[in-house]
Amino acid sequence: MSAKVKGFMYGVATSVTFGLIPLFTLPLMHAGLASDSILFYRFITATIALGLMIVVKKESFKVAWRDVPIIVVLAVFYTASSMFLLYGYEAMGAGVATTLHFTYPVFVTLLMLVIFRERASWVTWTAVVLAICGVAKLSLDGTELKLDPMGVVIVLLSAVGYASYIIAVNKSRVRDMHSRKLAFYVFVFTTIIFGIKNMLGDGVQPLPDAWSAVNVVLLAVAPTVISNITLLLAVRNIGGTLTSILGALEPVTAVCIGALVFGEAFTLNEAIGIALILTAVVLVILNRSIQENMTVLLKRIRPRHP
C-alpha cells in the first residue's frame, strides 16, 4: 500500500474518531461539568492511556532536549484549539461555531503559502470551498444568522490554533518522531496547561458519577488518542493541507451519530452538506489525476498557431 493511500486512510480515521467528541462531551456538560474540567480530565486520561500503550509496546520515552521547545509549542497550539472551540460553543452555539472552526483548511493553505511559499492547486481550493459550504449546511439551522463578534474571534482562534498545529507537525523537526511518543508529550504539556488553568480558577470539579467517568475514558481514547495518532500519520504521509480538508468528515460523523444515537431528524440540508463534503473528499483524493487530465484536455483543445 502506497504512502499516499495510507495517508488518506489515516486522514479519514482522524475525522471519524474526532467527530465522536459530541457523543462523549455533551453528557459531561449535561452532568454539570465546566469546559476546563472536561478538558483536564480528557487530556490527563489520554496521557495515561498513551503512556501505558508505550510501556506495553516497550517503546522508549526518550526525547532530545532540543525537541522539547517544539513539543511545548505544539501543545500550546493544541490547547488553544481545544479550549477556544469549547468556549465558542458556549458563546454562540454549536452550529455556527462548528462552521467557523472548519475554516481551518483555509488557514492551513494560506499559512503554507505565506510562510513556506507552497501554492495550492485550483482543485485543492475548490475542495476547501466545497468542504466549508458542506459544513455550513450541516451546522447552520435556518436562514437568520446573528453573530457575536467576540464569539467569532474565539472560534477563529480555535481554527488558527488547529491549523498551526497541523503545519507545525508537518514542517518541524519532530515530524519523524514516533506518533505515539509525540502525541504523549503533547498531551503531557496540554494537561499541565489545563491543570494550571483550573488551579487559577475554581479548581477541577469532581466527576459526579460512574457514567461520567466512562464518558471521560471514551473521550480520551477515541477522539483524542486515536485521532491524534492518525492525524500525525496522515500529515506525515499526505501533508497538512490535504489532511485538513479530510477533516470536513468530522461533522458528517457528528450528524450520523445525532441521527442514529440521539434520534435527531435527518434533513435535506444535512444531505446536501454531506454530498458537498464527500465531493470535496473525492477531489482531494483525485487531485493529481484531475490536474493531469485537465492539462491533457487543455492541450488538445488549445488552438494551434501556424
Q: CA-CA distance, 101 to 95, in Å (whole number)?
A: 10
Contacts of 138 (CB under 8 A, 6+ apart): 98, 251, 252, 254, 255, 269, 270, 273, 274, 277
pLDDT at 164: 95
Quickly state the pLDDT bin for 306 (edges 50, 70, 90).
Answer: low
C-alpha cell at 272: 446536501
Q: Span 115-136, mean pLDDT?
A: 86
Closest Cα partner for 174 from 244, 76, 246, 72? 72
181-185, 268-272, 288-292, range with the lowest pLDDT: 288-292
Name the burial class of residue 65, with classes exposed (0-12), middle (13-18) and buried (19+) by CB atoms within 10 angstroms of its CB: exposed
pLDDT at 95: 63
Half-sphere exposure of 86 toward its Cβ, with a 13 Å CA cutoff? 20
pTM of the model: 0.85
Q: CA-CA distance, 87 to 205, in Å (whole number)?
A: 17
Q: Span 262-278, mean pLDDT?
A: 82
C-alpha cell at 20: 465522536
Closest Cα partner for 151 from 214, 196, 193, 90? 90
Contacts of 259 (CB under 8 A, 6+ apart): 265, 266
Q: SS3 for 62?
A: coil
Q: Span 193-200, mean pLDDT?
A: 94
143, pLDDT greater than 50? no
305, pLDDT greater than 60? no
pLDDT > 70: percent of the chain: 93
pLDDT at 94: 65
Across the chain, what does the average pLDDT equal?
Answer: 87
Q: CA-CA distance, 29 to 37, in Å (whole number)?
A: 10
